[in-house]
Structure 1
Amino acid sequence: MGKKLIIGLLLSLFLAQYAEAQEKGRVIVIKDPQIDSLIAKRLALSRASTSGNSVTILGFRVQIFSGLAREDAYIVQTKFKSLYPNITSYVSYTQPNYRVRVGDFRTMLEAQKFMNSLQKQYSSLFIFAERINPR
């Protein structure tokens, strides 16, 4: 009979705690205060990415340089900027090459026309489809 009494007491104690935890209409939230600041920062970043220049779309760029030397890539970019100040240029690195790609063209035809105008200045030109920054 002693075992049944102990089991009964433990069971009633457990049920009493369970019933207290199921109190309706009350929620206690315990959190680090930095969580609110992180949420605010995330919302600000989200708003910034949907407005302004952060929006990207699929389009085309013309590659005017690909090589191993970083300095050469920046020299080509500087020369391009002096010849075409209204066209944006981008230097990227994918091991082992640096690449200079130019333009933010929405259609392949626009990229092709611009590439044709560059053929006198640059020896190897290619068109790549990638995410662009629309004007």
Structure 2
Amino acid sequence: MKKTQLKTFYLTALITIGFSTMGHSQQGTVVVNEDPAIANLLKLKKEINSNEKNSNRYKIQIYSGHLSRAESIKSSFNGSVGQWNSQLVFEAPNYKVWVGNFRKRLEADRALVEVQKKFGDAFIFKPLKEKN
């Protein structure tokens, strides 16, 4: 009697599994109706990301400290070296003078050699991306 019950159980389980897998093997097509504004937004996002500040660029920092001294260093740089653009940036608690916007580390290294002739403490760094 137990063998018959066991055979019935296995047969029922096999049939159940067989039908459940057949139910999942359906085929069909999915049509996505997307608003054209979404494509425009994605295009705009790509454009913004390509123009984003401090993206994968190298800069040279020539000073970090008080505002008056930072302004003095910046004007001194513009008057003497001045081949690259300089900017005054505030990162709490210091004002920093950053020079250049180099795509490759090699370009930044070459510029650093020139900058260090006048500003010996200068160094190359890669700024973090600004979070919005």
Q: What is the CA RMSD across the aligned residues, in angstroms? A: 2.7
3-state SS of the aligned residue for 1:130?
Answer: coil
Question: Equivalent residue for 2:57?
Answer: 59
Letter in 1 for 2:70: A
Aligned partners of 1:64 and 1:103: how far apart in 2?
11
Q: Percent identity?
A: 29
Letter in 1 for 2:103: R
3-state SS of the aligned residue for 1:99?
Answer: strand
**Residue 121 (structure 1) aligned with residue 118 (structure 2):** yes
Q: Name structure 2 gaps, 5 residues minimum.
A: 1-40
Q: Following TM superposition, by how much is the alpha carbon of 1:88 offset from its aligned partner in structure 2, in angstroms?
A: 1.0
Question: Equivalent residue for 2:86?
Answer: 89
Q: 1:105 to 1:131 in 2, by over 3 A?
A: farther
Q: Following TM superposition, by how much is the alpha carbon of 1:84 offset from its aligned partner in structure 2, in angstroms?
A: 3.6
Q: Following TM superposition, by how much is the alpha carbon of 1:78 offset from its aligned partner in structure 2, in angstroms?
A: 0.9
3-state SS of the aligned residue for 1:120?
Answer: helix
Aligned partners of 2:110 and 2:128: how far apart in 1?
19
After superposing on structure 2, the runs of 4+ consecutive aligned residues of structure 1 that deviate more than 6 Å are: none
Question: Equivalent residue for 2:73?
Answer: 76
Normalised TM-score (structure 2) = 0.54
Aligned residues of 2:58 and 2:108 also touching (Cα < 8 A): yes
Aligned residues: 85
**Residue 106 (structure 1) aligned with residue 69 (structure 2):** no
Aligned partners of 1:85 and 1:119: how far apart in 2?
13
Q: Name structure 1 gaps, 5 residues minimum.
A: 1-42
